[in-house]
Structure 1
Amino acid sequence: MRQSFYQFLMTQRNPEDFEPVAEFANNAFYDQGFPKQETHFEALSKYLEENASYLPSMTVFDDAWALYLAQD
């Protein structure tokens, strides 16, 4: 069974890295409402568009999503 996007994203965390995906992961870690069990693009995209003021651009999510899909 595929891990959730959040579980994958947490593998990208690095407080000393200022690359966009790492910063996204670092900030998502502190987001209490992040849908931690979600595996579907549309649901995650909707949540981030409505709630993730820490995400400077949805392109960062798209890049992280591509990495998530490539892990298989």
Structure 2
Amino acid sequence: MNHDSFYRYLMTQRNPNSADEIEQFANNAFLDSTFPKQSTDFEEVSKYLEENADYLPSMTIFDTAWQKYLAAMN
């Protein structure tokens, strides 16, 4: 099983010219120097985003991205 961090997965979703919510999340996370880049832990990333990511309009976007991340890791 591949154990890339959530951040590494998210970076594969970047698209600066897209209005897609997950792609925009990825673009913004790329610019976030304090994002927990090594984490594979849902709770850690979720807590970080809730407390620090004013660029994420809804945690539902993160939840969807996390589900895609889990699917990609299997």
TM category (shorter chain) comes to over 0.9
Deviation >4 Å, runs of 4+: none
Gaps of 5+ in 1: none
Output one character per residue of 1:10-69: Cα deviation in whole Å (capped at 9) or x when no partner.
000000111000000000000000000000000000000000000000000000000000
TM-score where L is the length of structure 1: 0.98
Q: RMSD in angstroms over aligned alpha carbons?
A: 0.6
Other-structure match for 2:8: 7
Percent identity, please. Answer: 62
Alignment partner of 1:28: what SS?
helix
1:12-27 equivalences in 2 (<5 Å): 12-27=13-28
Tell me which of the two structures has the higher relative contact order, counting C-alpha pairs closer than 8 angstroms and 6 or more residues apart: 2
- Unaligned runs of 5+ residues in structure 2 are none
Aligned residues: 72
CA distance in 2, matches of 1:31, 1:18: 19
1:28 aligned residue: 29
